[in-house]
Structure 1
Amino acid sequence: MTDALSPAARLALDEAFERDAARGGFAHRGAVAVIGDDALAAAARERFGSPIRLFHELTPIPVAPPEGCERHGLVPELVDGVTLVVGELPRTLAGVDEIAGLVARHADADVLVVLAAREKNLERGMNERPRDSFLEVAASRGRDKARALIASGPRPTPSPAYPRSEIVSGLDFPIAAHGAVFAGTRLDIGTRALLEVLPAQLDAAALPERPTVVDLGCGTGVLAVWTARHLPGARVIATDRSWSAVSSASRTAQLAGVADRVDTVHADAGEGIPDRSVDVVLLNPPFHDGRAVIDDMAHPLFRAAGRMLRPGGTLLTVYNSHLKHRGALERSVGPTSQVARTPKFTVTRSIAR
């Protein structure tokens, strides 16, 4: 089973097992909380022989977990009363902060936390962030270019809970965000560029009385919520492959008073949305995975938009101008024209064939 694990996941398991054995072993305790994928959960089940509570950012909750495991969001029930948390570190400081605070508030006072990552993915200050929630924080020795953070001794007043919300300039509703979501409670400049042209573009789209609009790769749900507030008759779907994004979008919709008109869907590339059922797709796609820039990372989302749009439907996309996505948009969706351009961002309109 461990052959399927990343070096970071193997290191986390080994460090957790050794350190737990040194404090008396795990056999007499209850569930283990795992932050990671199904392979790590199954390996932890084998290693510790205990029920597993599993959080995986990219796997929807309804998907059946491995035997002996139950799937949770990043919520108190994931860590309630546990004495061991093992897994992989998020790639953002805020993501580490969220997990540390959640564990410190809801786990057992004797909890041991062992989370690892590849050294190239460890941001400056990441080993300090858990100190806001734990009295003891240390780093393991490096192995296979991975390193683990080990924390114990929850503070009486840990880091504030997530999702956090903030009112930002240019919006008439607050943004809510979990720690792992891109841009957090800020309005990222790509979304801002799309919002500047969105009213005119929706007016020009000749929409039906009750259009269906999809915010594809919704992040914190800003585009979905804006659309629900400005098109009261629309059915709006906010979908993302990230649990943290979908949960953030749901909270943003609640704070904006449109939760009854924004459906949130945890799915990869809008999976489950029927073909040719959508009038408008709004898209601010990612272009990097961690620190690596991937020029064609948005292409599966373009194909998803082309699949779900009705003939004549509209895709409005914003992207970094240097990526030159227009050819891919033409192939995946249909005729594409430039709506706006700055030195950094381009906004295009594509009409589905």
Structure 2
Amino acid sequence: MRRYPDVEAPNLQAWDATDLLLAERGIADASERGLDGSEIAIIGDNYGALALRLAAAGFTGVRVHQDLATGREALRRNAEELGLSGLQVPCELEAELLAGARLVLLQLPRGLAELEEYADAVARWASPDVVVLAGGRVKHMTLAMNDVLGASFEVVAAELAVRKSRLLVASVPRTVPENPPFPVCAKHDDVGLTLCTHGAVFAGSRLDLGTRFLLGFLDAMPVGTAVDLGCGTGALAAAYALAHPEAVVVATDRSAAAVRSARATVSANGLAGRVLVEHDDAAASRPDASADVVLLNPPFHLGASVHAGAGLRLFEAAARILRPGGELWAVYNSHLDYRRRLQTSVGQTTVKGRSGKFTVTRSVRNG
């Protein structure tokens, strides 16, 4: 199996021991209970290891939710390579994913808000006799995860660790509130924005300090077609659209949770119809040389690993979609060696501002 088209490196694997543990236990549980694939749902199958292992064992029609566009494409490619194409049903985090599900396999996310949203969704939409097998690496698991699951399920039990991974088993869904807990929205009067978020999005409904710093440079940016690359909650896209009413604005992110969040933010700020939000990998569907300005607060983590690969891919994407003379405005932690990378990938790069922690740069696309 491969991670491609996601970043690949020796320390980044397409599967881990938790995938093996979840798949083995899931197959055993489904077989013992006489379930077929249509009664099984998977949440957080990073690159398809769970869905493909179940398909190989004869469980077809399993519903799968993957947050990242790169993970979805990796599953498609891995399934094709293994001769298992068309045996899974991709779904968004909606009732369609979980209706009638009696077994849910869940890769535990790092964030508790993300886990809360998943647990609520299962309790809200799955069968009353659903069993949730939630697995993670022991070093990343906390007792708070048990508490979050316990808010949606009456029974939560931790099993013994196997190969440094552990399962939490949840059952007996509790009655859930009428309305789902997400998105959560918060007003930020100091910058004139309302931000909305789903559980999996970085910084939640808070305005992270890097984005806040970059917002101070909106008036210096060109006006035209703008792309918020890796948009998260859509703060940059919404702020740019409010500052430049005549602009065409696109927000794009590889995370489905970010896309849902950005759409909610766009609506909350009265920008529906003015900002287009797309679920895409590094703006792959955007035409070459189609943007006048790109706004970017790049990540420097890939999952639990510190890795610059995701940010560098976004630099390359910005260079591709910018018109000659177009500008990339980026903010990043000052200790990162990004100015040199921007100069190489995009074009002439100048520092426009520094705070105690962050640097804002302007890169002009080579002609």
Counterpart Cα distance in 2 of 1:161 and 1:123: 22
Matched, 1:31 2:39: yes
Matched, 1:227 2:206: no
**Matched residue type, 2:39:** A
TM-score under structure 2 length normalisation: 0.87
1:81-121 alpha-carbon deviations (Å, 9 max, x no partner): 21111131222111111100000011111111112122233
Asked if 2 retains the 8 angstrom alpha-carbon contact of 1:317 and 1:347, the reply is yes
**Residues 105-184 of structure 1 mapped to structure 2, 5 A cutoff:** 105-123=124-142, 125-157=144-176, 160-184=180-204
| Cα-Cα RMSD | 2.3
Asked if 1 retains the 8 angstrom alpha-carbon contact of 2:21 and 2:165, the reply is yes
Residue number in structure 1 paired with 2:228: 215
1:238-292 alpha-carbon deviations (Å, 9 max, x no partner): 1111111111111111121212111112122111211111100000000123443
Aligned mate of 2:106, from 75, 79, 87: 87
Change (3 A) 1:175 1:333: same
1:280-315 alpha-carbon deviations (Å, 9 max, x no partner): 000000012344332454111111111111111111
1:197-247 alpha-carbon deviations (Å, 9 max, x no partner): 222x12xx3x4xxx2100001001111111122222211111111111111
1:22-44 alpha-carbon deviations (Å, 9 max, x no partner): 5x3325x8431111143321222
Residue number in structure 2 paired with 1:15: 25
**Matched residue type, 1:147:** R
Change (3 A) 1:50 1:300: closer
Matched, 1:67 2:77: no
Asked if 2 retains the 8 angstrom alpha-carbon contact of 1:34 and 1:87, the reply is yes
Counterpart Cα distance in 2 of 1:52 and 1:76: 14
Percent of paired sites with the same residue: 42
**Matched residue type, 1:196:** G
Counterpart Cα distance in 1 of 2:351 and 2:240: 21
Counterpart Cα distance in 1 of 2:323 and 2:229: 15
Residue number in structure 1 paired with 2:326: 313
Asked if 1 retains the 8 angstrom alpha-carbon contact of 2:300 and 2:308, the reply is yes
Matched, 1:188 2:208: yes
Counterpart Cα distance in 2 of 1:284 and 1:105: 35
User: After alignment, is 253-262 or 185-194 more displaced?
Assistant: 253-262
Secondary structure of 2:260's match?
helix
Secondary structure of 2:154's match?
strand
Secondary structure of 2:227's match?
strand
User: After alignment, is 336-345 or 123-132 more displaced?
Assistant: 123-132
**Matched residue type, 1:225:** A
Aligned mate of 1:270, from 278, 283, 306: 283
1:134 to partner: Cα distance: 0.7
Query: Where in structure 1 are there 5+ consecutive unaligned residues?
Result: none
Secondary structure of 1:87's match?
strand
Secondary structure of 1:167's match?
strand
